[in-house]
Amino acid sequence: MGAMDSLLPKLAALLTDEYKLHRSLRGQIMFLKAELETMQLALERVSEAPVMEKQILSSILRQVTGEDYVAIETWDVMEIINKTRLFLVDKRYIVILDDIWDKSAWKHIKCALVDNNCGSRTITTSRLLDVAASCCSEFDGSIYNVKPLSHYNTKKLFYKRIFGCEDGCHPELKEISENILKKCGGVPLAINTIASLLASGRLSRLPKWINSSLLCLSTLDMTLNILMQEDVQNLGALPVLLSLVLSVFKMEQQNLVLGKNYDEFQCLVKFSLASDAMRLVFSQQAMPRLEDLDLAFRVKDT
């Protein structure tokens, strides 16, 4: 044990030093990684911002003049600004710019909007208060803080975007809809974005809540993995459906009968179906008011 008594403290000290070195190196590596990520993000912003600003300035010039300017991509920013100022110098105009993302971008964009004392106005929107303040004129400008939508109006917007009418949410979906709406915080952009994703998503089957209880649903656009006869009958039972657009990846093996029951698709004006196989049978009483029919077949590679 004598040799071990002298060796163990040295071994412990060596391991402690190795641990400290490892921890120090790891800390430095993590710090360096964070620094590089920050630098990369900064470089991306520097490289992308001028391009975005040039695109916006090009759009402003085209819209105020009504000209196409085919070679505008080859112009530099100052040339676009000067052309815009020259056109606006003696005109009364109103320009609306949505979602200004930073103060430096606004500094470049506002150079093109000449102050000509003709009663012109510029309206901007931003999600950042300091950016909104930088866009505000020192003389007669004002900032309007948009309040979030009330819970009632939030639901109206959300349900109308997904279900086609303001009170079209099925009872089984109300709880999950409420949870989604809480996360949106009454912000219209967030509500529309989430609703659009939900409305355009690809589904394995037609949801059970799409049935005759949806009294206000007039337009339906869906992507389904498979379409069954039961689904066709549920769609046909929608009382005020005017437009139906379906993209189906697989049809049921047997033919699907449209208008199997007399009261199916009584209001439908437009019907569009895209699928890799067409197994539809239109009964004599099917879709009596149909005006627009679009059937598309996907051709598989062989």
φ, ψ of residue 125 to 5 degrees: the values are: -125, 150
Closest CA to 276 of 251, 293, 253: 251
Q: Tokens 């430096």 — which residue?
A: 104
Q: In the 8-state DSSP scheme, what is residue 112?
A: T
pLDDT in tens, the chain (302 residues): 444 455 555 555 655 555 555 555 555 555 455 545 544 544 444 344 467 788 889 999 999 999 999 899 899 888 999 999 999 999 999 999 988 888 888 888 888 998 888 888 899 988 788 989 999 887 778 898 888 889 899 888 888 877 777 776 767 667 777 877 887 888 887 787 777 766 665 566 777 777 777 777 788 888 888 888 888 888 888 888 899 988 887 776 667 888 777 778 888 999 998 887 667 788 877 888 889 988 887 655 44
Side chain identity at 221, as an amino acid letter? D
Contact 125, 131 (CB under 8 A): no
Task: Tell me the whole-structure pTM to 2 decimals.
Answer: 0.45
- Count how many residues are written for the chain: 302
How many whole angstroms separate alpha carbon 32 and alpha carbon 156?
Answer: 49
| Inter-CA distances, 205 with 118, 222, 247, Å | 59, 10, 12
Q: Give the pairing of strands 270-275 and 292-297.
A: parallel
How many whole angstroms separate alpha carbon 264 and alpha carbon 286?
Answer: 7
Which secondary structure element, helix H or strand E, spans residue 32, and what is its range?
helix 2-65
Q: How many Cβ atoms from other residues are within 10 Å of residue 15's Cβ?
A: 10
Hey, what are 180's tokens? Answer: 């989604």
Dump the DSSP string for 176-234: HHHHHHHHHTT-HHHHHHHHHHHHH-EESS--TT-STT-TT--EEEEEES-B-HHHHHH
How many whole angstroms separate alpha carbon 233 and alpha carbon 260?
Answer: 8
Say if residue 30 is exposed, middle or buried (CB neighbours under 10 Å; 0-12, 13-18, 19+).
exposed
